[in-house]
């Protein structure tokens, strides 16, 4: 019985679920807003500002550092999905910025620096449900 409990506890720690979606909902809404105002290049600019503004010490904008990292990741996934799925969407001047491997690398670094994750094997269980959720939201709006 103790082994079952220990395994369940380890799985719970290694598989962070989406506790709330308000942060991701805001990231998607903000990505659509930025795209509407300035197209693909506005998404790149906003994402760069977002990632450079993560305060790993105390948080800002009424968000903890972890929430800031999640928001920026959500914004990037929403942006990448909009650019790839929106009919007639122009590619940004920096076409590599939203490449999936680059987005994943930035997210992993931000999530580790903000102590949302601490082990490499926690990246996928954290990211996959959020990507699915964000992609679903974007697809509904397109």
Contact of 54 with 113, CB cutoff 8 Å? yes
Residues 35-52 have pLDDT tens digits of: 999 999 999 999 999 999
**Distance from the first to the final alpha carbon of the chain:** 49
Neighbours of 78 (CB within 10 A): 26
Residue 118: its H or E element: none
Residues 52-109 have pLDDT tens digits of: 988 776 655 678 888 999 999 999 999 999 999 988 888 899 989 999 999 999 999 9
Residue 6 has pLDDT above 80, yes or no: no
Phi/psi region, residue 115 (left: phi>0; alpha: psi -120 to 50; beta: rest), is left
What's this model's pTM, rounded to 2 decimal places?
0.84
Q: Look up residue 104 and give its two tokens.
A: 């994943």
């Amino acid at each position: 019985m103790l082994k079952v409990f220990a395994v369940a506890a380890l799985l719970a720690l290694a598989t962070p679920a989406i506790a709330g979606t308000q942060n991701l909902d805001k990231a998607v809404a903000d990505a659509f807003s930025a795209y509407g105002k300035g197209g693909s290049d506005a998404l790149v600019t906003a994402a760069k500002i977002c990632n450079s503004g993560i305060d790993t010490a105390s948080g800002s904008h009424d968000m903890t550092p972890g929430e800031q990292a999640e928001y920026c990741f959500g914004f990037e996934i929403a942006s990448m999905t909009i650019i790839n799925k929106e009919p007639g969407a122009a590619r940004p001047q920096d076409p590599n910025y939203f490449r999936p491997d680059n987005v994943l690398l930035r997210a992993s670094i931000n999530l580790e620096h903000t102590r949302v994750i601490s082990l490499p094997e926690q990246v996928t269980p954290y990211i996959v449900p959020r990507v699915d959720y964000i992609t679903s939201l974007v697809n509904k709006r397109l």
